[in-house]
Amino acid sequence: MSDLYWPGDDRAGEHFGQEAFVRALVDVEEDWLARLGHPADLQALVQSRDLEVLAREAERGGNPVIGLVDRLRDGLTGEPASWLHRGLTSQDVVDSALVRMAERAAGDLRADLAALGADLTALAQAHRDTPMVARTLTQHAVPTTFGLRVAQWLAALVDADEQLSGLSFPDQVGGAAGTRAAMVELGVEVDLEPLPWHTVRAPVTRLGDALVTTTDALARIANDVLVMSRPEIGELSEGRPGGSSTMPGKANPVLSVLVRRAALTTPQLAATLHVGAASQVDDRADGGWHAEWATVRDLVRRTLTAASQSVELVAGLQVHAERMAATLAAAGASVRAEQRAMTDLTGRVPLPSYDGQAGAIVDAVVLRAQRHWRSA
């Protein structure tokens, strides 16, 4: 897929594309038909050329399942045609399809995060003792190390991946109003777990929250690269900067810009999912559920794109340690003001290096990351 409105969208592959959505819907119907004892190959009954018709028909029923079931039933003969979709409702099929697509996307996303984590681990270790000046509220603060800065990036990434790893992707099996009455009439045995979640949207909001936590972590990296690659700072630069349409030779930190772009938009998408969850009423929602589909699609694809861009960003990142050291030296005595205050209080001789436990913190974060991905 590609999207001129969202450069880099092709990095998300076919996840949550129109064809992927229809395939997932058909998978749900096919699995249910087999569960009823009447298996049939349904995928061959829907072609790419049918997508436009299905999209138009979806408006009539408010969702794509009604038209899809009609098309599938027309292509079937015998018992499978009679049993198709029996006991299910449209929301069962859409919800199940969405979480199945989300589970596959989360797997690919976590693979990118693992690759990014490995690169950040190596970068933190390589610059464990590379001195630079810390900045707080945009101003010079105290001496630190670039390795500690990278360790902060890594810690945020581990937090995000832990949240992704804790997600569940339950099929939706509730029937018309979550009572499973038709299934009982059909004699279909369905385990109580997972319970129907027609109006309890935690599987969707938790997904949204985990994706936003991920883009938060990715933006943590991009924001620092954007600041530290400013010409007047020059401590970092992208390995493959972008150009300018009017200024030849200009090196724009494009990957960082695009990762930041994603992080500026995903929280609002997750907020839409929470608004939809808060608007649930009766036994099937009127609009809150419908608002989820495109929202989840955009949230997933933007996160996947940002993760892929972040892998490339970190893999090619240029670290200018000499500029870091020069900036720290130029800051002069001001960056040791806290150290002087502490030594005045204790009467101790000032340490030659004033970065506290920076190296030990880097080691601890790296160890946590290594343990996390070994167990993932």
**Cα Rg for the chain, rounded, in angstroms?**
26
**308 carries an active-site annotation:** no
Which pLDDT belongs to residue 246?
Answer: 56
248: confidence class by pLDDT, cuts 50, 70, 90: low
Identify the active-site residue in 86, 284, 323, 368: 284
Percent of the chain with pLDDT over 90: 88
Identify the active-site residue in 82, 168, 244, 353: 244
Burial of 276 (0-12, 13-18, 19+ CB in 10 A): buried
Cβ neighbours around 307 below 10 Å, total:
28
Region 281-308: mean pLDDT is: 96
141 within 8 A of 133, measured Cβ to Cβ: yes
- For 202-214, write each residue's pLDDT tens digit: 999 999 999 999 9
250 within 8 A of 243, measured Cβ to Cβ: yes
124: confidence class by pLDDT, cuts 50, 70, 90: very high
353: confidence class by pLDDT, cuts 50, 70, 90: confident
Region 205-231: mean pLDDT is: 98
Region 163-185: mean pLDDT is: 96
Query: What does the block give as tokens for 308?
Result: 């892929």
**237 carries an active-site annotation:** no
Which pLDDT belongs to residue 74?
Answer: 94
Q: Is the pLDDT of residue 244 over 70?
A: no
Tell me the pTM. Answer: 0.95
Strand, coil or helix: 216: helix
Which pLDDT belongs to residue 360?
Answer: 96
User: In whole angstroms, how far apart are CA 222 and each of 52, 93, 130, 311?
Assistant: 38, 38, 20, 11
Region 12-27: mean pLDDT is: 97
- For 44-96, write each residue's pLDDT tens digit: 999 888 999 999 999 999 999 999 999 999 999 999 999 999 999 999 999 99
110/103 Cα distance (integer angstroms): 11
Which pLDDT belongs to residue 247?
Answer: 59
Between 349 and 16, the higher pLDDT residue? 16
Class of domain 95-172+192-375: mainly alpha
Query: What does the block give as tokens for 342?
Result: 């502490």
Which pLDDT belongs to residue 123?
Answer: 98
- For 92-106, write each residue's pLDDT tens digit: 999 999 999 999 999
Where along the chain do its domains lie?
A: 95-172+192-375
Which pLDDT belongs to residue 125?
Answer: 98
155/153 Cα distance (integer angstroms): 6
Which pLDDT belongs to residue 144?
Answer: 96
User: In whole angstroms, how far apart are CA 51 and each of 43, 58, 97, 164?
Assistant: 13, 10, 16, 31
339 within 8 A of 142, measured Cβ to Cβ: yes
Between 48 and 116, the higher pLDDT residue? 116
Of the listed ranges 116-120, 183-187, 217-221, 247-251, the least confidently predicted one is: 247-251
Task: Kindly write down the DSSP assignment for every residue of 113-163, as one continuous string.
Answer: HHHHHHHHHHHHHHTTT-EEEEEETTEEEEEEEHHHHHHHHHHHHHHHHHH
Query: What does the block give as tokens for 158?
Result: 């581990």
345: confidence class by pLDDT, cuts 50, 70, 90: very high
Query: What does the block give as tokens for 136?
Result: 């707080």
Region 212-227: mean pLDDT is: 98
Q: Is the pLDDT of residue 351 over 90?
A: no
